[in-house]
Amino acid sequence: EVQLQQSGPELVKPGASVKISCKASGYSFTGYFMNWVKQSHGKSLEWIGRINPYNGDTFYNQKFKGKATLTVDKSSSTAHMELLSLTSEDSAVYYCGPDSSGYVAYWGQGTLVTVSA
């Protein structure tokens, strides 16, 4: 059974950074790109980018370049996303999910990031 367990909610101050994680199990972690998606409150979904866990290659949505940094730890089948220089616009739920030929068949439960002083 494919499972994606994301880290818990984060409350961070403006200007700070936060790193959230997504632990994968039930499939070959290095065989599929890992994608990250943002959902601001009451809004639609935005694709942030993806990483190839096999070699670490990344592709970012231009909108999120400089905002998000994607990494993986193959030894623990965990993907990470660091969000930099946080502002209120970064308050959102962030989802992870492996990409199989253009679609995310399985999604994590989401991680709520709240940016507030």
Say whether residue 82 binds other proteins (CB under 8 A): no
Q: Which of residues 39-58 bind other proteins (CB under 8 A)?
A: 44-47, 49
Residue from 53, 95, 113, 115 in contact with other proteins (CB under 8 A): 95
The torsion angle over the Cα atoms of residues 87, 53, 99 and 76, rounded to 10 degrees, is -80
CB 71 within 8 A of CB 82: yes
As given in the structure block, the two tokens for residue 69 are 């940094």
Residue from 18, 20, 68, 93 in contact with other proteins (CB under 8 A): 93
Say whether residue 107 binds other proteins (CB under 8 A): yes
Q: In the complex, which residues of this chain contact other proteins (CB under 8 A)?
A: 35, 44-47, 49, 59, 61-63, 93, 95, 97, 101-107, 109-110
